[in-house]
């Protein structure tokens, strides 16, 4: 009887482990990152909100204040993060206030889209080829 329990437990454990691995790969490839900055001041922002929900990671910073607009828990293992966010911020600093760019990371095509007035008023979105292009969220 004990032998039979081991025989049925092993396939279950293998299937369970495979399902967990598949879920981790799927969630990594489907993650979307959004960075929004609005009305920041010379010293930073009044309100900084970081959210990690399912496949969405967002950092929203608003109002003149003293807080840095920075991740406390950066999204891990996302293709193109933080390189494509840095790329968009560099283009904004050069005066290119809207744009889209794509690059392959580990064989996966990744996209970044940005719109801005300046470095303190911007929206940057990052996604992979597995997803549809982002639509503007309702405020």
Sheet holding 32-38, edge to edge: 45-53, 56-64, 32-38, 121-128, 108-118, 98-105
Please give the average per-residue pLDDT across 29-53, as a whole number.
92
Structure tokens of 120?
Answer: 């303190």
Q: Where are the domains of the chain?
A: 1-30, 31-128
pTM of the model: 0.74
Residue with tokens 């204040």, as numbered in its chain: 65
Please report the beta strands in the chain, taking only residues with DSSP state E, as ranges in sequence order: 32-38, 45-53, 56-64, 98-105, 108-118, 121-128
CB atoms within 10 A of CB 32: 18
Residue 54 predicted with pLDDT over 80: yes
Residue 20 predicted with pLDDT over 50: no
What pLDDT band is residue 22 in, cutting at 50, 70 and 90? very low
Cross-strand partners of 51: 58
- pLDDT value of position 45: 97
Do residues 128 and 79 make contact, with C-beta atoms less than 8 angstroms apart? yes
Do residues 17 and 9 make contact, with C-beta atoms less than 8 angstroms apart? no
């Amino acid at each position: 009887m004990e032998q039979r329990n081991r025989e049925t437990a092993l396939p279950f454990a293998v299937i369970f482990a495979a399902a967990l691995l598949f879920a981790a790969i799927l969630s990594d490839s489907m993650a979307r990152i959004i960075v929004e900055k609005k009305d920041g001041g010379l010293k930073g922002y009044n309100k900084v909100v970081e959210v990690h929900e399912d496949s969405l990671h967002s950092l929203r910073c608003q109002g003149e204040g003293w807080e840095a607009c920075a991740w406390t828990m950066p999204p891990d293992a996302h293709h193109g993060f933080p390189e494509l966010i840095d790329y968009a911020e560099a283009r904004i600093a050069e005066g290119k206030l809207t744009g889209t760019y794509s690059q392959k990371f580990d064989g996966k095509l990744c996209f970044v889209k940005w719109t801005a007035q300046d470095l303190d008023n911007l929206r940057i979105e990052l996604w992979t080829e597995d997803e549809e292009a982002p639509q503007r969220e309702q405020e």
